[in-house]
Amino acid sequence: MSVDQTRGRSTDHLAHVVMIAGAAALGGFLFGYDTSVINGAVQAIQDNFAVGAALTGVTVAAALLGSAVGAAIAGGIADRLGRTRVMQVAAALFIISAIGSALPFTVWDLAWWRIVGGVAVGIASMIGPAYIAEVAPAEYRGRLGSLQQLAIVLGIAVSQLVNYALASAAGGSASAQLGPLDTWQWMLAVEAVPALIYLILATIIPESPRYLVSAGKTELARKVLNRIESADADEKIKEIRDALGGEKKPRLSDLRGRAGLLPIVWVGMAIAALQQFVGINVIFYYSSSLWQSVGVEESNSLLLSLFTSIVNIIGTIVAIMLVDKIGRKPLLVMGSIGMTIALALTGWAFSYAEVSGDQANLPFAWGVVALLSASAFVFCFAASWGVVMWVLLGEMFPPRIRAAALALGTATNWVANWLVTVTFPTMNAWNLPATYFIYAAFALISLFFVLRYLKETKGRSLEEMGS
């Protein structure tokens, strides 16, 4: 085979991998849409069901507990049924949740349907990185793994755009009637459309060759490898078998070590938790309420939320361009430094808010500072921790424990997400500037943790991890 033919074949394989990785990442789009769409409906839900801030916070955060459960169980199900089958289960749960959330009788069944959607989010957040890491060539794995985060931020942006468009059509309020339903109900129902597309794509893309080898389906694995790998399929199958080493189905008990868990598992869990403890999802879950609390009208606050999502997308694209060039660890270090500075500056700006009852207003100059520093925080997060955490969880663990460790790491991320989300309303009411200073402290902790404990994974094959 000539050099040109080899290059052409390699390009064809890469194009095919990009397409199936993109299809798998649609679960990330739904992940972002589902977790963010509630943002535009928070005040309307509170008014519609006549509930206080505490119960509203519980309803919003209910999905996150479901996400932790979904992430924890996804690994075991994926090892029994296969990666694509699990994607189909997640898609079906997304559809059911979207319809149920749009038609609740009380705030309690709304919370229940949010939990169902949360389980789907948790499953998608675990299976997307796992599948992409298993089909991606080592030299492109960082960029392909980044598609998951790109899909997440696109989902967030689309949810903000949909919320704004629906609210505008209803006269600027999510509480207004729009046809047979309230506007906030349409916001939640629209998710069923991309969920149906995800279900269809999950039935088309091929199964992971690593799963097929572990399940004894060698011929199918060979066919898939011939489509996604330029290397010899039989050599790759042997490499996968050697790495699997005749392993039994992974269990959480396999993660035990001298300190309760294996060191690599502790590192993965810490990375997953720190990604949330910097407070990133407060921007998306409560951004409308946050900007309204400093005097921005509802219609304009929804636009600011969309602006934040655009910044998030730009940062994610930067990370995709750099993750395989400069590596995972340098990106995390730079991101931690940037987030620490931006969060501290945001807290400082909000310390100048004038509070009167339940309203707070920032002087124009400090409002501009708060907007710029909050946007800088989102950019620094998106260009580093937003992408790299998911890439690392998909690749950093040795094959023997990957599914179980990835499930535990993802579940940790969702528990941390829930803790931040459910505590923010109370912390916001207590002292908003101090809240941002606390998040800045966690960003600083993340810097020292990465420098001390994280090993670079750039350019290594999945079968080399743990060596």
SS3 state of residue 252: helix
- Cβ-based burial of 257 (10 A; exposed 0-12, middle 13-18, buried ≥19): exposed
pLDDT in tens for each of the 467 residues of the chain? 443 444 444 566 777 788 888 899 999 999 889 878 887 777 788 877 877 767 777 777 778 788 889 988 888 888 888 999 999 999 999 999 999 999 988 888 888 999 999 999 999 988 988 888 888 877 777 888 888 888 988 998 888 888 888 888 887 666 777 888 888 899 999 999 999 999 999 999 999 888 888 888 888 888 888 887 767 777 878 877 776 664 445 555 667 767 678 888 999 999 999 999 999 877 755 555 556 655 666 566 656 667 777 888 899 999 989 988 888 899 999 999 999 999 999 889 888 876 554 455 677 777 778 878 888 999 999 999 998 998 888 888 887 777 778 888 888 998 898 888 778 877 877 887 899 999 999 999 999 999 999 988 776 666 565 54
Quick one: pLDDT at residue 2?
Answer: 42
Quick one: pLDDT at residue 88?
Answer: 96
- Which residues, in sequence order, are bridge partners of residue 354? 361
Of 127, 109, 111, 70, the C-alpha closest to 93 is 70
Of 297, 441, 319, 442, the C-alpha closest to 392 is 319
- The model's pTM: 0.78
Quick one: pLDDT at residue 356?
Answer: 52
- Cβ-based burial of 332 (10 A; exposed 0-12, middle 13-18, buried ≥19): buried
Could you give the CA distance from residue 2 to residue 13 in angstroms, rounded to a whole number?
Answer: 17
Quick one: pLDDT at residue 288?
Answer: 59
CA dihedral for 54, 56, 60, 66, sign (positive or negative): positive
Q: Is there a contact between 107 and 45 (Cβ–Cβ < 8 Å)?
A: yes
**CA distances (Å), 399 to each of 146, 251, 263, in order?**
20, 13, 15
